[in-house]
Amino acid sequence: MNFYSITFSPTGGTQRVADILSHTLAASVEAVDLTDRSRDFSSLSFSSSDVCLVSVPSYGGRVPQPAAQRLAQIQGGGARAILVCVYGNRAYEDTLVELQDLLTQAGFSCVAGVAAVAEHSILRKFAAGRPNQADEATLTAFGQEIGRRLEEGTLPQPLTLPGNRPYRPFGVIPMHPKAGKSCQGCGLCAQTCPVGAIPVDQPTQVDEKACISCMRCVSVCPRHSRSVNPLVLSAASLKLKKACTQPKACELFL
Ligand SMILES: Cc1cc2nc3c(=O)[nH]c(=O)nc-3n(C[C@H](O)[C@H](O)[C@H](O)COP(=O)(O)O)c2cc1C
């Protein structure tokens, strides 16, 4: 069995959850970075002896569009897929069922699902510090249970996951980070933007139509130059306070 961890993680929270699970599931892990816009995902194909952990953040209760487009290009070849959705303690709504549909369409066999919480990548005070030690213990136990069931061949077919079809309409309040005066134009944000929304020769600019508000540019900037308008942030924070405050637990679906 070859084990792959296929992840879309602009600011690292989804990656942390994926790493905890994958280290529990396999001694050797091949990583596939779905934020790499230079990669040709149509050349990626798997077979029925492979196991793929596929991890995405929830954006507005849905799979982020570039992740969906890139996953749709992969040839699943009957590989077993463990689906992981990571969210910022508000809700993940239809993310797991959308991911299941995308992967089934791409030829994967979906065998398990996990929903986990990580720090909210826009409003960082929500779910701050998560995944924490307790989450790590829970996710490790989930990984062990999935591993045991994979070996026994007792994972469910078809897999039932929470969420609605048709999915909720995609609706995320756009928040486009801007570069401040301390920007020295190093271009790291432009190089690592998952959708190429920042021109390499003019990194203080942003193509607002292309930007997916993922906050990669904010998280990689060595001078902390990029930020979202604080008024927009505090309005969003007030709006989401009630829904995001009560800590939510990680969930396993088998
Ligand atoms: C554009 C955008 C939309 C988001 N929508 C939701 C959401 O609907 N529900 C939620 O709980 N968290 C939401 N979040 C928070 C992320 O799902 C969460 O922070 C996740 O860990 C980010 O993954 P990353 O650290 O791998 O980038 C959103 C974050 C972004 C950037």
Cβ-contact 58, 92 below 8 angstroms: yes
Q: Is the CB of 216 under 6 A from ligand 1?
A: no
- Please tell me whether residues 112 and 210 are part of one structural domain: no
Mean pLDDT of 79-87: 98
Q: Measured in angstroms, how far is the CA atom of residue 219 from the centroid of ligand 1?
A: 14
The whole-number pLDDT of residue 134 equals 98
- Please tell me whether residues 144 and 22 are part of one structural domain: yes
Residue 119 lies in a domain: yes
The whole-number pLDDT of residue 1 equals 82
Residue 221 lies in a domain: yes
Q: The domain that contains 162 carries what CATH number?
A: 3.40.50.360
Please say if the pLDDT value at position 72 is more than 90.
Answer: yes
- The closest-lying atom of ligand 1 relative to the alpha carbon of residue 61 is 8
Q: Measured in angstroms, how far is the CA atom of residue 121 from the centroid of ligand 1?
A: 6
Q: Is the CB of 121 under 6 A from ligand 1?
A: yes
Q: Measured in angstroms, how far is the CA atom of residue 176 from the centroid of ligand 1?
A: 15
The length of the chain in residues reads 254
Q: Measured in angstroms, how far is the CA atom of residue 156 from the centroid of ligand 1?
A: 28
Give the model confidence (pLDDT) of 27-51 as tens digits: 999 999 999 999 999 999 999 999 9
Mean pLDDT of 183-200: 96
- Please tell me whether residues 134 and 9 are part of one structural domain: yes
- The continuous run of DSSP H or E covering 55 comes out as strand 51-57
Residue 233 lies in a domain: no
- The closest-lying atom of ligand 1 relative to the alpha carbon of residue 14 is 26
Q: Is the CB of 91 under 6 A from ligand 1?
A: yes
Strand partners, 113: 83, 253
The whole-number pLDDT of residue 157 equals 81
- Please tell me whether residues 158 and 131 are part of one structural domain: yes
Q: The domain that contains 212 carries what CATH number?
A: 3.30.70.20
Interatomic CA distance for residues 143 and 19, integer angstroms: 11
- Please tell me whether residues 116 and 24 are part of one structural domain: yes
Q: Is the CB of 61 under 6 A from ligand 1?
A: yes
The whole-number pLDDT of residue 70 equals 98
- Please tell me whether residues 193 and 125 are part of one structural domain: no
Among 90, 93, 69, which Cα is nearest to 8's?
A: 69
Cβ-contact 212, 221 below 8 angstroms: no
The domain in which residue 37 lies consists of 3-167+248-253
Q: How does the average pLDDT of the chain come out, rounded?
A: 96
pTM over 0.75: yes
Question: Which residue's alpha carbon is nearest to atom 5 within ligand 1?
Answer: 59
Please say if the pLDDT value at position 245 is more than 90.
Answer: no
The whole-number pLDDT of residue 173 equals 82
Q: Is 254 exposed, middle or buried (0-12, 13-18, 19+ CB in 10 A)?
A: middle
- The closest-lying atom of ligand 1 relative to the alpha carbon of residue 243 is 11
Q: Is the CB of 62 under 6 A from ligand 1?
A: no
- Please tell me whether residues 110 and 207 are part of one structural domain: no
Percentage of the chain exceeding pLDDT 90: 94
- Please tell me whether residues 60 and 149 are part of one structural domain: yes
- The closest-lying atom of ligand 1 relative to the alpha carbon of residue 175 is 1
Residue 110 lies in a domain: yes
Three-state DSSP at 32 gives strand
Give the model confidence (pLDDT) of 5-30 as tens digits: 999 999 999 999 999 999 999 999 99
Q: Is the CB of 11 under 6 A from ligand 1?
A: yes
Distance of CA 42 to the CA centre of its chain: 20
| Crossing angle between the packed helical segments 95-105 and 65-73, to the nearest 10 degrees | 20
Q: What's the total number of domains in the chain?
A: 2
Give the model confidence (pLDDT) of 146-190 as tens digits: 999 999 999 878 999 999 999 999 888 889 999 999 999 999 999
